[in-house]
Amino acid sequence: MLTFDQKSDNYIAIINRLAEKQGCFFEIECGEGHDLETETIYYEDLSGWLVPLAYKEEFTKLTRAEQLSNKWDKYFCCAEWKQNGERIDIDFVKYPEFVSNELQSTQPEPAQPSIGLSVTMPTFLQQAT
């Protein structure tokens, strides 16, 4: 049986693949609830930054130094999952209230976080729903 950390790592790997498909990386801030644990994976909505890969080095450096400014707010979103029949759909969802008013009109739009990914739900979970 997998440990909780291994289950969580499986889900984070899926989130990272989805971000990479959009030319981005996803830096997790925290879990937002809406969780489901199976024998192989732990799903939870996650909040964080979906940042273009071109800014990864700068963003990582600022994050580690705890010097992240509000100019990065425009990349803040949530990775949200939902059950769709036999599949789990995961989407990056932006919430405009996370973006500072002064940034809304002066900054370029970040990578579009509306593209989703679907993964097949484990058979034992399909039977339980």
pLDDT in tens, 32-87: 988 888 888 888 999 999 999 999 999 989 888 888 788 888 889 999 998 888 78
Ordered by start, the domain boundaries in the chain are: 4-128
Global pTM reads 0.72
Of 94, 108, 92, nearest in space to 24 by CA: 92
Question: Which residues touch 92 (CB under 8 Å, ≥6 apart)?
Answer: 18, 19, 22, 26, 50, 77, 78, 79, 80, 113, 114, 115, 116
CA–CA separation, 90 and 2 (whole Å): 22
Q: What is the mean pLDDT of residues 99-122?
A: 45
**Residue 84 contacts by C-beta under 8 Å, 6 or more apart in sequence?**
118
Give the three-state DSSP class for 48: strand
